[in-house]
Amino acid sequence: MATHQLIIFVLIVTLCLVVPTILLVLCIVFRFRAEGIHRQHRQTSSGGTTESAAESGTGTGLDEFTIQSYTKIVIGENRRLVPACKNESSCPICLAEYLAGEIAKCMPECQHCFHLDCVDRWLKINTTCPVCRKSLLFSKLHNDNLVPNL
């Protein structure tokens, strides 16, 4: 009788360990499959076709000439950017507020603005806007003028 109870006890303990482990493994497998499907769906729905790594912003960024061609803005005493820029009070990359005298750079396609150093580092390794992820690969070149902000 004692061996029968021992067998039942071992069986219950084994089931309590094996079943949750199997469920955990299945959850992990389904999660990775779902992420792959969602990633593929986002890529095809954003542009109609699956994008390559360079087009999606992963891998090599923009060339130095293109990065330097984007419009630069000197932040004025009122610390506001020109009306064309979509974000006016802080840099979305470092989250710091713009200070008077700092230089911001605006993306030509979407008009999002960033601290010069923040966005230059971003664009060296990415080809998209840090905020809206719009591709900057085929954007029009802009003058390298400093535009004072009054």
Q: Which domain holds residue 19?
A: 1-50
Residues in the chain: 150
Specify whether 63 is located in the same domain as 44. no
Residue from 101, 98, 138, 128 nearest 114 by CA: 98
pLDDT single digits (tens) 65-97: 989 999 898 887 766 665 556 666 788 899 888
146 with 93, same domain: the answer is: yes
Say if residue 117 is in the same domain as residue 101. yes
Give mean pLDDT, residues 114-127.
Answer: 92
Same domain, 127 and 147: yes
The answer to whether residues 69 and 139 belong to one domain is: yes
- pTM score of the predicted model: 0.52
Residues 96 and 118 in one domain: yes
Same domain for 64 and 137? yes
Overall average pLDDT of the 103-110 stretch: 88
Total domain count, the chain? 2
Give the domain-ending residue among 9, 35, 50. Answer: 50
State whether 33 and 78 are in the same domain: no
Among residues 147, 127, 140, which one has the least CA distance to residue 54? 127
Instruction: Please state whether beta strands 146-148 and 113-115 pair in parallel, antiparallel, or not at all (unpaired).
Output: unpaired
Question: What percent of the chain has pLDDT above 90?
Answer: 24
User: What is the pLDDT confidence band of residue 150, given thresholds at 50, 70 and 90?
Assistant: very low
Q: Are residues 28 and 86 in the same domain?
A: no
Question: pLDDT digits over 34-51, tens only?
Answer: 766 655 545 444 444 444
Q: What is the pLDDT of residues 4-14, one digit of tens each?
A: 888 999 999 99
Residue 126 burial by Cβ neighbours in a 10 Å radius (0-12, 13-18, 19+): buried
Please tell me whether residues 76 and 120 are part of one structural domain: yes
CATH code of the domain in which 135 resides: 3.30.40.10
